[in-house]
Homo-oligomer: A and B are copies of this chain.
């Protein structure tokens, strides 16, 4: 597999009260077209990741909206897999090109979350879990990940409270260096530990925020991408699924679908873990990043704590993780997150990541999770 990246576009992430779903999406689309130096009419197909348009804005059918925004009648589809919606849209864009049905594809992700109450958002997000087994019984997403954190930290006691907090500290450090991040302030371990408890052991600073934002990326066949001198290619796309509910999961101290998705992506890209120069992973909660780096093989099961003890996951460390600031500091506009991860990979591989640039970055991976691990999608990016 080899699909090129022609252009990227992303809005500011945060509470963007003067833009609706349509305007956020359009802003990202226009930025990506400008970056790709193509006209809208050159696009053959569009895929848009969006999770909560229905319950938070009353708007489904966002695929049609993405085409309408550019005055196109081209094939345009919305894809949803909870918080993995953005990377699923990316995957479908890659497959459309590989199928020969499209040469140039625009992939979008968008979410408008701050027009409603936090309670409405929390309820809507629970649609990513198992509504019958979990939602109706009062579980929320902080609660689900708190269960995973408790199980993990009971089995692997070397992941201390302080080291778990290091995930958020490092992601805020990176977010402070990213112009479109929601939070640009550095924090300390005490900030995390002393914050309001959300679901024990997770405090407010272990949790990603509620965010508005949109991101777009334009893909092309290898041939077209080479002709347009693209510097970045997608060489692997791995997708794996598991039960919606934690109750039916084979493990609570790992996200099994993460490892499966990673192996599928690595195998397709013909890479080994050691080839990876950086990773953008799904840190919806601090514990999720711990589970992610183990799923990707960057640490053995139970040993992720070492990366945080050694500060390896900073942009200039041995295993840079979430140089964008991650979901925690960059923000988590659900449908946009998977596309934002891809954009960070492209920025790094183009060498445009400025004061968070990973040195000599050649291979990066993105890792995007839906729900508590029912969907995991991993992509491999290569710089040339």
Contacts and interface: CB of A to CB of B under 8 A. Distances in A.
A61 B101 contact: no
A80 B78 contact: yes
Contact of A68 (B61, B88, B92, B244): B244
Interface string A63-106: 11101100011111111111000001001101110111100000
B60 A241 contact: no
A126 interface: yes
A135 interface: yes
- Output the residue of A20, A129, A260 with the most chain B CB within 10 A: A129
Interface in A39-61: 51-55, 57-61
Given A72-B241, A100-B98, A241-B72, A63 B81 contact: yes
A371 B68 CA distance: 13
Contacts of A370: 61, 64
Contacts of A136: 58
A64 B135 contact: no
Nearest to A71: B243
A80 to B, nearest CB: 5
A51 B123 CA distance: 18
Tell me the number of copies of this protein.
Answer: 2
Given A99-B98, A101-B95, A240 B73 contact: yes
Contacts of A272: none
Contacts of A77: 79, 81, 88, 91-92, 239
Nearest to A54: B54
A68 B249 CA distance: 10
A164 B241 CA distance: 47
A22 interface: yes
A63 B52 CA distance: 15
Given A20-B132, A64-B375, 15 more contacts: A54-B127, A58-B123, A58-B127, A61-B127, A61-B129, A61-B370, A64-B241, A64-B370, A64-B374, A68-B242, A68-B244, A73-B257, A74-B240, A98-B100, A98-B101
16 contacts: A54-B54, A54-B55, A54-B127, A58-B131, A58-B136, A61-B82, A61-B127, A63-B241, A63-B375, A74-B241, A75-B91, A75-B240, A77-B81, A78-B79, A92-B92, A98-B99
